[in-house]
Structure 1
Amino acid sequence: MVAFAFFSCEKDLPTYYEFQGYEFASVDPTGGNWKPILINSGADISLPTPSAPGSPAYLQEIEDLKEQVARMTEVETKAVTYWTQNPIIRWNEIALELVAKYNLIPGPNPDGSYTLPNPANPNGPPAFPFAHPPYAVRALAYLSVAQFDGLISAWHHKFAFNRDAPFVQDPSIKATYVGNIIPSYPSDGAVVASVSRQILTQMFPLEAEYLAEREAEHLRCLLLSGANVQSDIDAGRTIGQAISGIALARAASDGMRNAQAPKPVSDSIAQAALDRFGWEWINRELPQRPVGLTPLYGKVRMWSVDNVEQTRPIPPPAIGSPEYLADVAILKDFAANVTQERRRIANFWQDGLGTYTPPGHWNEFAKEFIVKYRLNPLRSARTFAYLNMAMMDGGISCWDAKYYYHYPRPIQVIDGFTTIAGTPNFPAYTSGHSVFSAAGAEVLAYIFPSEAQLVRGWAEEAAISRVYGGIHWTFDATVGTAQGIDVAGYTIEVARNDGAD
């Protein structure tokens, strides 16, 4: 069904698929009745009644389309093959590519001070954004939720107006893919192109020109594929623009702009933990940045959870307690016995700088399952939306725990201890990899139940990988896994009630 093309090492950039045939397992004619996330229903965004197939206006669109297809170049033919099978996958690949490109720690100034990336001055230095895991999963969540809502609206209008695709109306039009026959008005591809360009431009402002080029190419390919006339595309863009505005309005007020707190706030958080528990995390990276990564990310608005405190885990073991000392012994044993398999696991799940981060890793898994089970664009968007909502909520819950408990990492409190996986710039408890992975695995297990055992096994491996690397305590991983499962349950409850099952 599909051939694979690896443009780089899998963990550095996303894997690109070359589709050889992709007939949807279903077209979901009632998908327009599903419950969206940002809007109340698919009918919220209105569209004008399209021209009837036999009308002069529509017949002229058909003639214009045929003229364009007749002049299609070899380069355009390849582009059509790339874009028009499942555009959700294509834009997710682009998003992961940008995450990896911008997942670089801003360096120190010549005087040793640090300047934070600033969305008001994206050119910097340093360039905006630093696409660390909390930033990456938020970008992926807004992208996929907007795509999902936009396609619910598109499906609503498609099956309300029920205008056949041009290649169905006129058999002389050579269609790229004839196996997937769904109404053409509005164009679902145009919804995805418009939404994706606008959301990603907001998240990665230095890529505005590149993203505009990708959108223009995508929109032209929808016409050249024989699946849409221009009015289909224009209507799809109308939906995309409306949904993007709603999504970006939410993003502007979700609290992310305050997540990277200044040093006095960061210091007060550390002092509160010291007063409360008698310990504090101290950064051991070199060179040392003055504050931890996004101390107030735990206060960002969640998607499916009303109050982050309801997902806060139990306290970690007290320093010096029997449970703590037992974990010290475990970590010392792992450090003294770094087997080839443990190193392989630690490296595979590293997902560090220059990669698409742990949430991006789970987006890659989702993409593979989407292709395997031949999901249509609407169901593909639903998969990514719930996956990234759950992982973002999991990340918020995890960061709340990290800075509430402010627990030291092993390298800080075990004399002579070293790691094989670097030193992250934020507290230990709980493990972000564990929470992201468990939340992602639970959503994928729900949507693809036959893969449940596989993905849950991956989540367990991701969790223990951070212990093998010396970065985390075992309780960071085990409690983080339970935390991710707990948080994902809220998102899965939303999914169970959206009408898709």
Structure 2
Amino acid sequence: MKSYKLSIIVVVISVLVSCNKDLNTELTYESYEFAGIDEDAGDWNPILLASGSDISVDAPAATNSAEYQAELSEVKSKIASMTPDQKKKVDFWTNNSVLRWNEIALGLIAKYNLIPGPNEDESYTLPDPSNPAGPPPFPFAHPPYASRALAYLSVAQFDGLIAAWHYKFEFNRPAPYLVDSEIPNTYVSNGLPSYPSEGAVLATTARKILTAMFPLEAEYLSKLEQEHLESLILAGENVPSDLEAGIKIGEEIATIALSRAANDGMKNAQAPKAVSDSLRAAAFERFGWQWENLESPVRPVGLTPLFGKVKMWNVPNVEATRPEIPPAPGSEIFQKDIKILEDYADNVTNERRRIANYWQDGLGTYTPPGHWNDIAGEYILKYKMNVIRTARTFAYMNMAIMDGGVSCWDAKYYYYYPRPIQMIKDFETIAGTPNFPSYTSGHSVFSAAAASVLTYIFPQEGEIFNEWAEEAAISRVYGGIHWTFDATVGTTQGRNVAEYTINAAKIDGADN
């Protein structure tokens, strides 16, 4: 199986992209010629905005004006004094910085995907957004948190670029290197108008969204934003007024996105023990079973019991995608599943262990949602997507992944189904024991949702995406963490969730 690995180092970000689990090869990510520039993308339907013109941008100065000529002189002066370090940063950001900011987001998720440990008295202190330094530090970037952070980042960037495209092709101001032949162009020329700067939209949007999601990284993200903005000047792509217009769009769309985030219910997802206990009691009353946390010391509350109540992007309500009741413990189907899991545990082949480990995406990694963003990056590069098509791919995929997570967590805490380690005597896993109920499998739902959207975007690659989604699902069974029906039903659940997102994508105007 081939997969795409954008190298993730939070402090020193590598330009090289490592790839694939079976082949010792690397993909380099450099400036490239886009397959097209989508001149009509300013008319596409945004997600948060009503239209690309919702954010107003003033008309730019003409290229023959004294004001603009002064900007050109400033650009030439800065390029002439560029340092080797600045040149490295210019090369790093490239002409498709959606991928770079996605890579940075994945790095932050991996850095903060560390579960808070117990205190000396075996109590637990939860990360507190009002005191992000902690201890423990905020956030704990677990899979639900990661899916939400990636969704808000990519949706805001997509909408911001629609606004930028609207004005780019209304004003059609050429890039500096096209106006003045003395200005070199570092990146491959794609003929995009320079006002407003799409790079500035992305830099400011990302800085603002990611700072809200990872508040301890504010200084780091501000530094990256400034380096990105400076690189756009030094690459010959933009003049300062191009950046100013792009920054304005980025600030406004990020504010709109964060307003939605503030009211989507996530702040209540990590519910107190009384709420968690009430969910447990309700499930026992309905079904006669309940999941027990087998950690030592035991955490008083499972992971984000109310994530299933967070506002979804495209699914009307969680009941629309809630799966059927799982098999009752002791039933014939249940007993057959025990035999399957016992057989896997007694016959751990190298291939099964490899699959379980490859899709583990546990603590200290960019999580299953991040894994699928990584995979998407490979195909964005393979098909030479432009900036706005890249943002669209991430936006729809990450909305589906987040909606899948919400649907999955609703099922987890509605059914409160026990894990195999609780129900099979002397059973051991090879992949730990997650701190939340079993049914359905998060890996399965996240993966199937992502694979379905990627199949819509890249239909010729659908077979491999779906193969990987099914492998991600069975990996949790091989690891002993899930029942087979957690995986199979979760895969169906993820595909059902994704259909709502795909239906929205089909009418946004990009396929016309």
TM-score scaled by length of structure 1: 0.97
Partner residue in 1 for 2:362: 352
Q: Match for 1:488: what amino acid?
A: A
Q: Match for 1:442: what amino acid?
A: S
**2:399 matched to 1:389?**
yes
Q: Match for 2:135: what amino acid?
A: P
1:80·1:221 contact (CA, 8 Å) conserved in 2? yes
Matches within 5 A, 1:175-186: 175-186=185-196
Partner residue in 1 for 2:386: 376
Partner residue in 1 for 2:67: 57
- Decide whether aligned partners of structure 1 residues 400 and 5 sit closer, same or farther in structure 2, where only a CA change above 3 A counts: closer
Structure-1 separation of matches of 2:395 and 2:506: 14
Structure-1 separation of matches of 2:175 and 2:40: 18
Quick one: which of 64, 75, 82 aligns to 2:85?
Answer: 75
- Decide whether aligned partners of structure 1 residues 448 and 308 sit closer, same or farther in structure 2, where only a CA change above 3 A counts: same
Q: Match for 2:88: what amino acid?
A: K
SS across alignment from 1:470:
coil
Q: Match for 2:118: what amino acid?
A: P
Q: Deviations over 1:425-484 (max 9, x none)?
A: 000000000000000000001101111000100000000000000000000000000000
Query: 1:109 Cα deviation (Å)?
Result: 1.0
Query: 1:19 Cα deviation (Å)?
Result: 3.3
Q: Match for 2:284: what amino acid?
A: L
Partner residue in 2 for 1:277: 287
2:8·2:103 contact (CA, 8 Å) conserved in 1? no
Q: Match for 1:418: what amino acid?
A: E
**2:169 matched to 1:159?**
yes
Structure-1 separation of matches of 2:255 and 2:475: 40
Partner residue in 2 for 1:255: 265
Quick one: which of 207, 216, 234 aligns to 1:206?
Answer: 216
SS across alignment from 1:499:
coil
- Decide whether aligned partners of structure 1 residues 102 and 382 sit closer, same or farther in structure 2, where only a CA change above 3 A counts: same
Query: 1:6 Cα deviation (Å)?
Result: 4.8
Partner residue in 1 for 2:46: 36
Partner residue in 2 for 1:193: 203
Structure-2 separation of matches of 1:57 and 1:14: 36
Matches within 5 A, 1:117-136: 117-136=127-146
1:167·1:174 contact (CA, 8 Å) conserved in 2? yes
Q: Percent identity, aligned pairs only?
A: 65
Partner residue in 2 for 1:48: 58
Quick one: which of 168, 192, 207 aligns to 2:178?
Answer: 168
Q: Deviations over 1:475-501 (max 9, x none)?
A: 000000000000000000010000001
Structure 2 gap ranges (5+): 18-26
2:32·2:188 contact (CA, 8 Å) conserved in 1? no
Partner residue in 1 for 2:463: 453
Quick one: which of 420, 428, 439 aligns to 2:430?
Answer: 420
Q: Match for 1:358: what amino acid?
A: P
Worse-superposed segment, 284-293 or 395-404: 284-293
Partner residue in 2 for 1:364: 374
SS across alignment from 1:293:
coil
Q: Match for 2:207: what amino acid?
A: R
- Decide whether aligned partners of structure 1 residues 184 and 313 sit closer, same or farther in structure 2, where only a CA change above 3 A counts: same
Structure-2 separation of matches of 1:274 and 1:494: 37
Structure-2 separation of matches of 1:109 and 1:467: 32
2:128·2:134 contact (CA, 8 Å) conserved in 1? yes
Structure-1 separation of matches of 2:16 and 2:99: 10
Structure-2 separation of matches of 1:179 and 1:427: 52
Structure 1 gap ranges (5+): none
**2:249 matched to 1:239?**
yes
**2:416 matched to 1:406?**
yes
Structure-1 separation of matches of 2:181 and 2:376: 36
Q: Match for 2:413: what amino acid?
A: Y
Quick one: which of 431, 437, 445 aligns to 1:435?
Answer: 445
Q: Match for 1:100: what amino acid?
A: A
Q: Deviations over 1:289-318 (max 9, x none)?
A: 111000000000000011111100000001
SS across alignment from 2:372:
helix
Structure-2 separation of matches of 1:15 and 1:69: 25
Query: 1:287 Cα deviation (Å)?
Result: 2.7
Structure-1 separation of matches of 2:484 and 2:118: 33
1:328·1:414 contact (CA, 8 Å) conserved in 2? yes
2:60·2:171 contact (CA, 8 Å) conserved in 1? yes
Structure-2 separation of matches of 1:459 and 1:104: 25
**2:351 matched to 1:341?**
yes
SS across alignment from 1:407:
coil
Q: Match for 1:435: what amino acid?
A: V
Query: 1:179 Cα deviation (Å)?
Result: 2.5
Partner residue in 2 for 1:141: 151
Query: 1:178 Cα deviation (Å)?
Result: 4.0
Structure-1 separation of matches of 2:313 and 2:120: 40
Query: 1:255 Cα deviation (Å)?
Result: 0.1
Q: Deviations over 1:67-113 (max 9, x none)?
A: 11111111111111111321100000000000000000001111111
1:14·1:93 contact (CA, 8 Å) conserved in 2? no
Structure-2 separation of matches of 1:372 and 1:18: 11
- Decide whether aligned partners of structure 1 residues 14 and 111 sit closer, same or farther in structure 2, where only a CA change above 3 A counts: farther
- Decide whether aligned partners of structure 1 residues 354 and 238 sit closer, same or farther in structure 2, where only a CA change above 3 A counts: same
Structure-1 separation of matches of 2:335 and 2:104: 46
2:168·2:194 contact (CA, 8 Å) conserved in 1? yes
Query: 1:21 Cα deviation (Å)?
Result: 4.3
Partner residue in 1 for 2:497: 487
1:19·1:81 contact (CA, 8 Å) conserved in 2? no
2:90·2:235 contact (CA, 8 Å) conserved in 1? yes
Query: 1:14 Cα deviation (Å)?
Result: 11
SS across alignment from 1:185:
coil
Query: 1:28 Cα deviation (Å)?
Result: 0.4
Partner residue in 1 for 2:33: 23
1:262·1:291 contact (CA, 8 Å) conserved in 2? yes
1:5·1:18 contact (CA, 8 Å) conserved in 2? no
Q: Match for 1:500: what amino acid?
A: A
Partner residue in 1 for 2:330: 320
Q: Match for 2:343: what amino acid?
A: D
- Decide whether aligned partners of structure 1 residues 85 and 476 sit closer, same or farther in structure 2, where only a CA change above 3 A counts: same
